[in-house]
Amino acid sequence: MKQLGRLDDLPEAYRQALTAQNLVPLWPSLRSVLPPTKPVRRTRPTHWSYAGLRPLLLQAGELTPIEKAERRVLVLANPGHGLEKMQASSSIYLGMQLLLPGEWAPAHKHTPNAVRMIVEGDGAYTTVDGEKCPMSRGDLILTPTGLWHEHGHDGTVPVVWLDVLDLPLVYYMEASYVTEGEAQMVSAEATERAYQRGGVVPSPIFARADKRFPMLRYPWVEVRAALLALDVAQPGIEAVQVAYVNPETGADCQAILGYSALMLRPGETLLLPARSPAMVFHQIEGSSEVSVDDSVFTLAEADTCCAPGYVPITLKNRSTESPAFVFIADESPLHKKLGVYEVRG
């Protein structure tokens, strides 16, 4: 590839004349914005240990009352982006949130989309768009763009969940803002009753649901059962994986980030080809080994890690006796919609 002219090849007076008119020569920077073959990726393979962060999160519960935090979260920040950017990847934000018994995180709605993957505890709930969604370990609860949501806790033990948002992208778009509100009236309990079984959806005569986000809670008991059943039904399948979709359309449940659950069979090693979107792995049950470039992470239960795009990834179940269950978030809906999605090799 041809060497291009550098900035300091240009006379100082010329550079100053450009700057004075808010002009920049492209050629000294062309190779850095368009590198050959592979993009520049700030996203570094990074591992966050739950055993490591949990005491610090509980300590935040002592140090900062919920009224002073609104959302009591430790952000899982990727050092490749700079910790202050609060990004796991270019488009993914991750945080571990703590809600203590009796606490209340007030209602708001915002433009970024969020999901919650429940990590531990019982008795808390999120009310989304008037629907009260109980939180149990492994459940996925959507709080999509523009929908009111608030968190409450009637139980007796701390509840922790993983928040995944497309905040970095929406913020970069200069489209991220919040609206504060009053406590919602609960209009429905446990949304998932309406969409309880795959293949059938509620069908009031001549009027199908017109909600953009008809299903807000995906209980882990159902997802886990679906994975086990898939393995039995298709023992030869390459990856025992299910996607969280909109049950009315079959499309990804949110527009920007994609969510799925994967079961690694006992002793299984799964090779994921290099794909353009960055990925996040969160261990729901069991233990896995995740290899990305030169990094090898051991994911214990409730651990989380991320990988940049354009690298192959190897996932291995560390047990030869029992399955391992992994929650996956990635940027593939975004890449596909924008036409930049790639699979290599």
The residues that touch ligand 1HN, with contacts defined as CB under 6 A, are 71, 73, 95, 97, 110, 114, 149, 163, 165, 167
Which lies closer to ligand 1HN via its Cβ, residue 153 or residue 316?
Answer: 153
Taking the complex as a whole, the smallest distance from the CB of residue 101 to ligand 1HN amounts, in Å, to: 17
Which lies closer to ligand 1HN via its Cβ, residue 110 or residue 224?
Answer: 110
Taking the complex as a whole, the smallest distance from the CB of residue 218 to ligand 1HN amounts, in Å, to: 17
Which lies closer to ligand 1HN via its Cβ, residue 155 or residue 323?
Answer: 155
Structure tokens of 285? 């049950």
Which lies closer to ligand 1HN via its Cβ, residue 165 or residue 290?
Answer: 165
Q: What gap in Å lies between CA 278 and CA 81, rounded to an integer?
A: 13
| Cβ neighbours, 10 Å, residue 111 | 16
Which lies closer to ligand 1HN via its Cβ, residue 93 or residue 218?
Answer: 93
Which lies closer to ligand 1HN via its Cβ, residue 122 or residue 268?
Answer: 122
Calculate the alpha carbon distances from 135 to 51, 126, 153, 157 in Å. 21, 7, 10, 13
Residue type, 291: S
Calculate the alpha carbon distances from 305 to 82, 97, 217, 325 in Å. 16, 17, 23, 14
Taking the complex as a whole, the smallest distance from the CB of residue 165 to ligand 1HN amounts, in Å, to: 6
Taking the complex as a whole, the smallest distance from the CB of residue 113 to ligand 1HN amounts, in Å, to: 10
Asked if residue 279 lies in contact with residue 334, where contact means CB atoms within 8 angstroms, the answer is no
Q: What gap in Å lies between CA 123 and CA 186, rounded to an integer?
A: 16
Taking the complex as a whole, the smallest distance from the CB of residue 110 to ligand 1HN amounts, in Å, to: 6
Q: What gap in Å lies between CA 111 and CA 170, rounded to an integer?
A: 7
Calculate the alpha carbon distances from 156 to 63, 71, 103, 190 in Å. 19, 19, 11, 21
Taking the complex as a whole, the smallest distance from the CB of residue 215 to ligand 1HN amounts, in Å, to: 19
